[in-house]
Structure 1
Amino acid sequence: MSTTSNPALGLAAVLPRAEFIERSHQRSSGLGLSRSEQRELEPMVRSDLNLARERNQRLYLHAAPVMHMLFEQIVNTESMIVLTDAAGTILHSVGDDDFLARADKVALAPGANWAEHSRGTNAIGTALFEGSPTLIHGPEHFMHANNFLTCSAAPIFDPRGNMLGVLDVTGDHRSYHQHTMGLVRMSARMIENHWLSDDYNNRLRLHFHSRAEFIGTLLEGILVVGPDGKLLGANRGALDLLGLSGAALRAQTLTSLLGTSTAAVYDHFRMPLSAPMRLSLASGQSFYVTARFDWPSRPVVAGLGLLDTEPAPAAPVKPQAEAAGPAPAAKLSGLQYLRTGDAQVDTLVQKIQRVLDRDIPLLILGETGTGKELLARAVHVDSKRARQPFVAVNCASIPESLIEAELFGYEDGAFTGARRKGASGRILQANGGTLFLDEIGDMPLPLQARLLRVLQERSVTPLGSAKSIPVDIAVFCATHRNLREMIAAQSFREDLYYRLNGLAVRIPALRERSDLDAIVRRILLAERPQDAPTLSPPVAALFASYHWPGNIRQLANVLRTAAVMSAGEAQITPAHLSDDFLEDAAASLGRAAAARPQPASVAVMPVQELPAVAAEPPAASLQQAEAAMRASRIPLSQEASLGQTLEQAEIEMIRAALAAVGGNISAASKQLGISRNTIYRKLHWNAGPAEG
């Protein structure tokens, strides 16, 4: 569909369009430009253009994929896409070849400047001046030489409102489509949103709209919130929805703007698939709000250490915890950094160091969450292959129908849905470096035979190809399964097992390790390097007694939330821990208590005989009991022989109630008629060290 209609955009939404164009023409005349003569402006020399591109490299990196996607929408329409910097200099362009040649005749090409002072009224220059999306159609251009063009341009801003550049689609005015301006505006917003996410990937971001179905679209607003609740930045959608300027928004806090706090937001969105919050401005206007927080990708926090997550780093990231003195000149060992004081881990590291760079396959065993991939990366970092790729494949996460293509690659047309030109597999991607096969026990039997052949022949044959390609890879594998049992059940090949099992090492579960405190310190320092908190005594006691079924991954997730919830505070207390973790911890304490034999002198009231509503025991009597125990300074073993105090009897009653309801702290609190915090506090007092 072609049209010569000119939708009102930018300031034209406020001013009549004719007046909007006339204002720009007056500015152009005032600059001494002539409508009938094309100014002879030489584009930048190549070196200056390269310098401008280098200064705006980040803008191009965010804009390039959006430009490519946009070009797919306008291909073969006699059009081109232009990216400029904040001064109006064209950095990059892409378009139909014939139209690029026509545009070059009016210097619409990289290196040329299209600000109003150079080209008069045009979409790029006028959008830069007005700071809003602008359409300039045919004869609306100030210079007659540009009248064959229709240009749709939108400025690009960073989250603080600074102009970054302009995205523009220019085409023959006879084939202008009324939807082009909308595509350009949406594309500019995509670039802005990518920039915002990149700037604030480790900050809380609130995505909101007055209609819930618009969250996740380009119409949503995005607010960036600091740990103290200050608003750090926003996208243009947020400013439009809130009716605020960037400066006015940054003067607000989350509480003053939306009447909530960061703690309330984190508490609401702790659980997966949480429903959007409903928050309101002081004016009464309400929004649906969801929260996102992309934890920093630079370190892998698994307690064992902090390593760069990018493949093949020249050296691991310098440790941020417990550094003594200046950093050594030599490359820090990834394996050494994993040593945090546990004897089992020390022995494991020593074993691996003996076989490093000996072309011996490594099989890493251990429960889920113990840090198997982190160990594999550390070995890679210490090896001669450190500057080559580290390619990790989780055999359990790839559908069985795709894992063969994923590993071995495929030729064009190898199967329905295959990419044009085919794709290299993960084995070829790891050539020269390390291939890490996580959850190898989940690899289908037919693929086990193919993998064995690759390891024996040191070559790989992509699907649909008859050509074998030589590969040079180190192979590390990991699993939480018992491969020997799988061999006996004929679900894992014995010959592959012995091929992979050059050296088998087992990472101990977190509950079996003696370095919990050091791991906690390291994780907290990574999460809050400026003001790392410590654990309060009740939390430290809980962590020491908890069984950690998710191991270090679970510990990192618990501490990650707690570090945010305790922002501005020196200690992490039970109030900073998520409810689901507290309930599971209380349940495990209840199960442990139920499994212990009860002392004969203790009479525990059956749960069914408890009153429906019970007041908390008088504080004075509990305090007197505690004071008497502490004043006597009797060791716990002697205390038990003298008979239980009221506090101890109450704790046993709470444990019995928890055991009866399967550890559900909410159900137990209802049964006992006391609050969940009371249950948690009293169990922790009992679990903590005696005060002498």
Structure 2
Amino acid sequence: MAGTSPRPHAEQIRAALEDGMAARSAIAASWRRSMTLYGLDPENHCPPRTLSSTELRLARERMEPMIRLAQPAMERLFQAVGGIGCCVMLTDRHGVPMERRGLCGDDAQFRQWGLWTGTVWSEEAEGTNGIGTCLAEQRPLTVHRDQHFHTRNADLSCTTVPIFDHEGLLAAALDVSSCRADLTEAVTGLIAAATLEAARRIEERHFRQAFPRARVVLADDRAAGALLAIDADDLVIGATRAARQALGITPERLRRPLPAADLLGADAPAADLLQAERGAVQRALARAGGNVSAAAEALGISRATLHRKLHRLGLRVAH
């Protein structure tokens, strides 16, 4: 009807929940959690809670290894999105930004909106928002403008991707947020793709750091980030969350000896593993000048194990 003013944001949320939309929409389901589980009011205009300097320092100390290895990916992502009015934040698993990148000219605006280190963006504290809802659902998502629960956050657009550690556990989140009103759907899609790629790079760096002596292979080229760590005996000793999901690897399976060939199949991957093992053994022997004991130490296995490998691979040590 002409002259009718838009329905207030809080009223839209309540109407959507009364209409049963929560059963059909992930955003509406988060609205319901915000209102009924956390007891939040969409019209609450109090600023988000911020950690004290001591709390933030302690939280950063706990997360320091992740912050350090995330730096290159954050820099690269910021170079891609900073010029269009976005900031990049790395949060802990509780939804508190520990590290951020932003243009100096945008800092006052972002600080006003709470897009700053130490601000608590958990879903329990702030209702539906990119960081908090991503961590609650443990999946990448974008919360755009009035999809936020609190009316005071309805000018934000936030794209967030969860980051999982080497054991497949939720460890952090990577977020790109903007206060610009002119972000198109196409631009938001590009931001989401860039954020996902950056988060996967951070996960991979963390995984390789956790298994420095292992051979890291892609378990399934259809599942991004599905990596396995394989030891010198061709046993799987680690798997990313994506690999665990793609291959059905449970923590119980990893606690027992798990041959890589049993997971990767008997086609080309098995031959690739054999060839990779042969090459690793030959390189170790070459670097050790044919000294079996030194080569075994370099490979992180016993001398007896190396002798068994030499026999199985049909390799002879020159004397």
Q: Give TM-score scaled by structure 1 length.
A: 0.38
Match 2:260 to one of 254, 258, 266: 254
Shift of 1:189: 0.7
Residue identity opposite 2:182 in structure 1:
R
Shift of 1:248: 7.5
Deviation per residue, 1:620-652 (Å, 9 max, x gap): xxxxxxxxxxxxxxxxxxxxxxxxxxxxxxxxx
Structure 1 position 51 matched with structure 2 position 62: no
Shift of 1:128: 0.6
Structure 1 position 80 matched with structure 2 position 87: yes
Structure 1 position 181 matched with structure 2 position 188: no
130-139 or 167-176, larger mean C-alpha shift: 167-176
Compared CA separation, residues 246 and 92, structure 1 to 2 (3 A): farther
SS of equivalent to 2:84: coil
Distance 1:71 1:24 in 2: 28
Distance 1:97 1:135 in 2: 25
Residue identity opposite 2:226 in structure 1:
G
Residue identity opposite 1:527 in structure 2:
L
Partner of 1:143: 150
Distance 2:23 2:177 in 1: 19
Structure 1 position 244 matched with structure 2 position 238: no
SS of equivalent to 1:105: helix
Higher relative contact order (CA 8 A, sep 6+): 2
Distance 2:134 2:203 in 1: 16
Structure 1 position 160 matched with structure 2 position 162: no
Compared CA separation, residues 159 and 106, structure 1 to 2 (3 A): same
* Structure that is richer in helix per residue: 2
Residue identity opposite 1:575 in structure 2:
H
- Superposition pairs of residues 13-28 of structure 1, within 5 angstroms: 19-28=25-34
Question: Runs ≥4 in structure 1, deviation > 6 angstroms?
Answer: none
Distance 1:576 1:96 in 2: 58
Compared CA separation, residues 147 and 98, structure 1 to 2 (3 A): farther
Match 2:311 to one of 567, 575, 596: 575
SS of equivalent to 2:113: coil
Distance 2:23 2:76 in 1: 30
Partner of 1:98: 105
Q: Is the 8 A contact 1:270 1:578 kept in 2?
A: no
Distance 2:309 2:116 in 1: 60
Partner of 2:8: none
Deviation per residue, 1:247-289 (Å, 9 max, x gap): 47737542433345999654323577xxxxxxxxxxxxxxxxx
SS of equivalent to 1:44: coil
Deviation per residue, 1:179-214 (Å, 9 max, x gap): 111111111111101111111121122224458xxx
Compared CA separation, residues 246 and 125, structure 1 to 2 (3 A): farther
Q: Is the 8 A contact 2:213 2:231 kept in 1?
A: no
Distance 2:49 2:30 in 1: 23
Distance 2:105 2:164 in 1: 31
Shift of 1:134: 1.3
Structure 1 position 67 matched with structure 2 position 74: yes
Deviation per residue, 1:10-50 (Å, 9 max, x gap): xxxxx999611111011111212111123344422222212
SS of equivalent to 2:57: helix
Compared CA separation, residues 526 and 257, structure 1 to 2 (3 A): closer
Q: Is the 8 A contact 1:120 1:141 kept in 2?
A: yes
Partner of 2:218: 207
- Superposition pairs of residues 509-658 of structure 1, within 5 angstroms: 520-528=292-300, 532-534=302-304, 566=306, 571-572=307-308, 574-576=310-312, 579=315
Partner of 1:223: 228
Partner of 1:192: 203
Q: Is the 8 A contact 1:83 1:168 kept in 2?
A: yes
Structure 1 position 32 matched with structure 2 position 39: yes
Partner of 1:124: 131
Distance 2:105 2:250 in 1: 42
Deviation per residue, 1:161-181 (Å, 9 max, x gap): 111110000012422512111
Shift of 1:93: 1.0
Q: What count of residue pairs does the alignment treat as equivalent?
A: 289
Distance 2:115 2:90 in 1: 11
Distance 1:144 1:80 in 2: 21
Distance 1:263 1:77 in 2: 47
Shift of 1:146: 0.9
Deviation per residue, 1:572-607 (Å, 9 max, x gap): 47515565x67xx5xxx9xxxxxxxxxxxxxxxxxx
Distance 2:233 2:310 in 1: 20
**RMSD over aligned Cα, in angstroms?**
3.5
Distance 2:23 2:82 in 1: 29
Residue identity opposite 1:50 in structure 2:
R
SS of equivalent to 1:189: helix
Distance 1:573 1:50 in 2: 49
Compared CA separation, residues 263 and 140, structure 1 to 2 (3 A): closer
Distance 1:185 1:133 in 2: 8
Percent of matched pairs sharing the same residue: 24
Partner of 1:232: 237
Shift of 1:135: 0.7
Shift of 1:144: 0.9
Residue identity opposite 2:240 in structure 1:
N
SS of equivalent to 2:263: helix
Q: Is the 8 A contact 2:264 2:270 kept in 1?
A: no
Q: Is the 8 A contact 1:161 1:246 kept in 2?
A: no
Deviation per residue, 1:542-597 (Å, 9 max, x gap): xxxxxxxxxxxxxxxxxxxxx5xx4xxxx447515565x67xx5xxx9xxxxxxxx
Q: Is the 8 A contact 1:137 1:173 kept in 2?
A: no
Deviation per residue, 1:398-425 (Å, 9 max, x gap): xxxxxxxxxxxxxxxxxxxxxxxxxxxx
SS of equivalent to 1:175: coil
SS of equivalent to 1:33: coil
Compared CA separation, residues 235 and 29, structure 1 to 2 (3 A): same
Shift of 1:127: 0.6
Distance 1:126 1:169 in 2: 14
Q: Is the 8 A contact 1:524 1:532 kept in 2?
A: yes
Residue identity opposite 1:84 in structure 2:
T
Residue identity opposite 2:296 in structure 1:
L
Shift of 1:222: 1.7
Q: Is the 8 A contact 2:200 2:225 kept in 1?
A: no
Compared CA separation, residues 527 and 573, structure 1 to 2 (3 A): closer
